Amino acid sequence: LYDRDGWLWQDGDWLAWREATTHLLTHTLHYGMGCFEGVRAYAGPDGAQLFRVAEHTRRLLDSAHALDIPLSFGADELITAQRQCLIRNDLTNAYLKPTIYLGAEGLGLRAKGLTTHVMIAAWDLGDYISPEAASIGLRALTSSWARHHVNISLCRAKTNGHYVNSMLALNTAVKAGFDETIMLDPEGHVAEASAANVFLLRDGVLHTPEVTSCLQGITRDSVIHLAREVLGLEVIERRITRDELYLADEAFVTGTAAELLPLRELDGRHIGARTGAPAPGEPIAPDSLTARLQGLYRRVTRGELGDDLQGFAGWLTPVQGA
Ligand code: PMP
């Protein structure tokens, strides 16, 4: 990952990729107190464009504020830096990871005078998930690890340290032969996948967990808008139990990296068996709601707006001109 050409942005300067190192006593390395984003850019009809970069940047700044990390950069500067990062690295279909972390001025939980740093890395992502894999989707296992409680961590913040919990859950499921995990909140209601939100469809209505124990995903928000405004569906945010996922007609997960992936099986139950959904491992039906939402999300991110999606043009920010 590190021995290659390219440029990273750090605190307003450009660092050669190979030389972009940080001190071993960097506070965030020791305690996980930091925050980050995952943002994507896609090739559009008029060149590369960032998808919902304003919302991602706002969530980054909100994360820092919630963690009480002071920052001297504002949203406009960080958006410009993300655009420049793509231009400088000659990237089009890309993933960006802006990260806010604390410096090496002190160790220990009471360290004072720590400096705040911001870095942005970007790399080529291409078609991260092939169309075949996007149609086959995931077999998942409910995790024995609980997701966040609101008095344990800040669910609105995308905090580095939160991902220990995600990785414990994901790694357990992967070792057991599954693709993904579904995490429950401490009371046993469905929270989210390891790095994606969850939706289920039952009798033509979409349901997704409210955001007490999961990240307020930007893809989740995009899918809610597309489902309501383009497909005219009802979408309900509420507490959901794991057996509701077993009994769903369709289910899927959403995230910036995953986009929208069908959830085909949970704990050995074939989701949608009752309504004749193809077996896990076979492609989903092209007329399923999951496939239709995948298509809409694909078009909106790639700037293929047509007449029906014109209202979402504001989600796209051109990269050039920064
Ligand atoms: N939950 C978690 C824990 C995540 O890491 C992510 C990925 N950022 C998501 C949900 C989905 O969020 P988004 O759609 O904003 O990428």
What is the mean pLDDT of each successive set of 10 residues along the chain, which is 322 residues long? Answer: 93 96 96 98 96 98 97 97 98 98 97 97 93 97 95 94 97 98 97 98 98 96 98 98 98 97 98 97 98 98 96 97 83
Helix (H, G, I), strand (E, B), or coil: what is residue 168? helix
From the CA of 37, how far away is ligand 1's center (Å)?
Answer: 9
Q: How many domains does the chain have?
A: 2
Q: Which domain holds residue 270?
A: 131-301
Domain identity same for 12 and 150? no
Residue 186 to residues 21, 146, 147, 254: CA-CA distances in angstroms? 38, 5, 7, 22
Position of tokens 């992936």? 261
158 is catalytic: yes
Domain identity same for 173 and 281? yes
Domain identity same for 111 and 256? no
Ligand 1 contact, 60 CB (< 6 A): no
Among candidate residues 97, 112, 158, 175, the one labeled active-site is: 158
Strand (E) or helix (H) holding 100: strand 94-102
From the CA of 195, how far away is ligand 1's center (Å)?
Answer: 5
- Measure CA of the first residue to CA of the last residue in the chain; give whole Å: 26
pLDDT at 245: 98
Contact predicate 231/292, CB 8 Å? yes
Contact predicate 50/319, CB 8 Å? yes
Taking the C-alpha atoms of residue 85 and residue 322, their distance in angstroms, rounded to an integer, is: 10
This complex has an ipTM of: 0.99
Residue among 321, 294, 28 at smallest CA distance from 136: 294
Ligand 1 contact, 57 CB (< 6 A): no
Q: What's the CATH number where 51 sits? A: 3.30.470.10
Q: What's the CATH number where 140 sits? A: 3.20.10.10
Domain identity same for 78 and 155? no
pLDDT at 106: 97
Which atom of ligand 1 is least distant from the CA of 220? Answer: 14
Domain identity same for 140 and 282? yes
Domain identity same for 135 and 69? no
From the CA of 296, how far away is ligand 1's center (Å)?
Answer: 19
Rounded to 10 deg, the angle between the 53-66 and 218-225 helix axes is: 140
Ligand 1 contact, 219 CB (< 6 A): yes
From the CA of 217, how far away is ligand 1's center (Å)?
Answer: 5
192: Cα within 13 Å, side-chain hemisphere: 26
